[in-house]
Structure 1
Amino acid sequence: MKCALVTGGSRGIGSAICQKLAEDKKYHILINYQGNQEAAQKTLEEVVRKGATGEIIKFDVSDAEEVKNVLSAWQEANPEAIVEVIVNNAGITRDGLFMWMSLEDWNSVVNTSLNGFFNVTNFFIQKMLRNKYGRIINMVSVSGVKGTPGQTNYSAAKGAVVAATKALAQEVAKRSITVNAVAPGFIRTDMTGDLDEKELVKLIPANRFGEAGEVADLVAFLASERAGYITGEVININGGIYS
């Protein structure tokens, strides 16, 4: 059984990625979530409706012990399963000016995006190397590439994942494992629901917010065999806001 794991796969961009990967019918989709079981269930229903198989797997990516325990138990229950694709999508924001930022808001954002990348990817990397094949896609952000005021914590976390992407890509390329980052700009999801779209659109050359499905299309391509010579890249998908 070949599997694709999407962290934070229950809603928004994560859910769109699960559904897009399901369309190829190549992978059993592992939908990770932390809090919203109902949303995870809905995503699973869509995956099945598209003709793929899948399951929900609950853990907090920032909790190293929990990640190890849950994934170890899953691997023991599915000894034949091979995770070929990892999409590190789980992330949270705790926005605010740096001078007023609490240590908790700093740590929670860094732990989810950066340590979450480590906890999940590190669990599977040796297996991927033995298997001599893999696709690792890290969801970063325009904030991690250009920096966004009011998001010093988020920009730091995503920027660190950008650097980790480039380093890890060089370590594992010989074994046909690619590691890339996808950096969305303003995408219409729950996460951007509170933003003033009318005002922000003026900053975007394409004159609109992106759709989660457009990001999912890019991720699905990077997860495919056709993208085997693309690695260590940060691909911006932002309507020209930062180019």
Structure 2
Amino acid sequence: MSGIEGLGGIPGTVGGALWMNAGAYGHEIGNVTEIVRVAREGRVVEVPGHEVKWDYRHTSFREGELLLGATLRLERDDPEKIGARMLEAKNKRMATQPHGARSAGCFFKNPPGSVIGTGKMIDEMGMKGERRGGAIVSPVHANFIVTDGDNAKAADALALAEEIRERFRREKGIELEYEVELWRAGSQKSNESSKSGESGESLVNETAETQSFDNSTNSTGSIESTDTPDSKDL
């Protein structure tokens, strides 16, 4: 079944992918979502995919809702061709993104309408390898902030991220948006600008961690057939 080959290798859960409209290499999960099962206000409802607003790394799901599963509309295709596309996406990811280093994934969204990705712009500003404490702008892909050693703190990464955002404001007139969400102990998560250096702060990539469930279909991504031959239930 074809339609989400570009998502292969992205760490996370089905719920997280739906929450942020995860995508890569021309594929977004929102493009193939037929139904989302949502725990909303004390009951489980099925929301048609066309009623969801699927934006770039953002959707219309509301804080407090739990995404329990989804039915995806996929196309039949030659398994060898599907495998080749998955391998191509994997090879691109391995060649262009840091592996073996701890990170929260891509830190910033690409600016709306820009033909150049944020990572490329950070690189052109000469910030690859920039360090604050135990946090470093990855020398492999500048939209990743990776950690060095066991003493790196969220405050280090946030200080570095805010420096990048400030330079974008000053030099390019661009207000960079976080692709990660910022979580603070005792407060609601936020993806807005925040003070750096506060204790109890953690960085979370939405795909990987913001929506994890005990339901095994979400945590493992297992697939069960439905009555519709070209749909898959997750």
TM-score strictly above 0.5: no
Q: TM-score, length-normalised on structure 2?
A: 0.30
Higher Rg of the two aligned structures? 2
Q: TM-score, length-normalised on structure 1?
A: 0.29
Work out which structure has the larger RCO, using CA pairs closer than 8 Å and 6 or more positions apart in sequence: 2
Which structure shows the higher helix fraction?
Answer: 1
